[in-house]
Amino acid sequence: MDLLSNTEAHTLVARGPAQLALHARAAAVTRERFGPHVFVRGVVEVSNHCRENCHYCGMRRENRGLDRFRAKHDQLAELLIHHRPASMTDVNIQTGEDPVAVREVVVPLVRTLRRETPLGVSVCLGTLNEPLYDELQAAGAALYIIKFELATAARYEQVEAPGTLAERVRHIRLLAARGWRVSSGFIAGLPGQTAEELLANLRLAQELPLDGCSVSPFIPGEATPLACAAGGDLDTTLNCMATLRLMRPDLVIPAVSALNLTGADDGYRRGLRAGANLCTINLTPAELRDDYLLYKRERFIMNEERVLNAIAAEGLEVSPTGMTEHWPTKPALAEAMAG
């Protein structure tokens, strides 16, 4: 469905009854496709080392005031094998752009989890190389999360997002071609971002071979060049989520914890009303969590109780199956070429 014509662009600024109607349409499409079920995954943040210098992220390499860490395989394996919440069916393993942590911690952890648990495994590790993508896939990871962040090349370069936009898009397409499920995402409300730039984000999300996509409100991060900028608007973020759902009914769209950092107590629940169908429980050990500085040290941590309460309050249910079970198996690259 093409919602990005000139006559439909006004949905991004909808408020009042028009906004409620937009979100209701998105929620109805979500229920039609996924029923009342919301996927629940956990996330562990393995490393805050990062070679990139993004203006919107506190883990940028020029932040010298951050205590850098790499979590240990055994600590995370013990947590996820023996102490994970009962509601989660999937886990996302996330790092800054840190290939050392990928090789030394993430690949062994993926192997362990696939051997010892039924969890579907997602990874969010930045731009890597083909051999490392293949090693992760062979270890058992099925979903690669790689956000394009913003779809205009000049703005992408201006905020020093990873590499170049063209490179990021090339890797998204490469991963999909090599048999990965791929999720991406973008930021709504970066300083100076125009309505046309938001539409460009949605167009790119529509065009890419994605299985999931997030929309995150811009949150001014500590120790970043944008620390004093105004935050992104929650309503605009939610309208982008709803429009994305109507454009791509098949996508898994997360309710991101940053929705509750916009000053609204009900931002997360409103995300579920606007078409989101994935919630994430933060399982990073408490002694490491504060230094995984995406935005601020005062993070809004979604624990299992908060996630389950939000799902129940919206009249929804935890999905009995994981994302990897929801999607049919994609052939590996060699199989696809042979076929």
Residue 187 lies in a domain: yes
- Please state the separation of Cα 276 from the chain's center in Å: 12
**What 3-state class would DSSP assign to 288?**
helix
* Tens digits of residue pLDDT in 283-322: 999 999 989 988 877 778 899 999 999 999 999 999 999 9
Tens of pLDDT along 33-46?
999 999 999 999 99
Determine phi and psi for 286, rounding to 5 degrees: -55, -35
pLDDT score recorded for residue 11: 85
Torsion of CA 128, 131, 134, 135, to 10 degrees: -90
The pLDDT of residue 209 is 98
State the average pLDDT over residues 233-240.
96
- Tokens 């299992």 appear where? 304
Domain encompassing residue 185: 9-338
Enumerate the β-bridge partners of residue 217.
188
Q: Give the pLDDT of residue 332.
A: 52
- Residue 155 belongs to some domain of the structure: yes
Identify whether 83 is part of a domain: yes
315 domain residue, yes or no? yes
- The confidence band for 4, taking pLDDT boundaries of 50, 70 and 90, is low
Q: What percent of the chain has pLDDT over 70?
A: 94
Query: Residue 337: its pLDDT value, please?
Result: 33
Helix or strand run (H / E) with residue 97: none
Q: Which residue has the higher pLDDT, 90 or 221?
A: 90
What confidence tens digit (pLDDT) does each residue in 111-123 have?
999 999 999 999 9
Domain count, the chain: 1
Give tens-digit pLDDT for 189-215.
Answer: 999 999 999 999 999 999 999 999 999
Work out the angle at residue 102's Cα, subtended by the Cα atoms of residues 100 and 103, and round it to the nearest 5 degrees: 70
pTM: 0.94
Look at residue 1 and tell me if it is in a domain. no
| Mean of pLDDT values over 38-67 | 96
87: DSSP letter: T
What is the average per-residue pLDDT within 163-177?
Answer: 98
176/171 Cα distance (integer angstroms):
9
Closest CA to 250 of 219, 215, 275: 275
Return the pLDDT at 1.
Answer: 47
Asked if residue 2 belongs to a domain, the reply is: no
Say if residue 8's pLDDT is above 70: no
Q: Of the ranges 58-62, 123-127, 186-190, 332-336, which one carries the lowest mean pLDDT score?
A: 332-336
Task: Answer whether residue 167 is part of any domain.
Answer: yes
Mean pLDDT of the chain: 93
Centroid of chain to Cα 265? 21
Residues in the chain: 339
CATH code where residue 199 lies = 3.20.20.70
Of 96-110, 283-297, 319-333, which gets the smallest average pLDDT?
319-333
Residue type, position 123, single letter: V
pLDDT of residue 21: 97
Helical ranges in the chain per DSSP H: 16-34, 73-82, 99-101, 107-116, 130-139, 153-158, 165-177, 195-207, 234-247, 267-273, 286-289, 304-313, 323-326, 333-338
Instruction: Tell me if 87 is assigned to some domain.
Output: yes
Instruction: Summarize the confidence of residues 57-69 as an average pLDDT.
Output: 95
| pLDDT value of residue 2 | 53
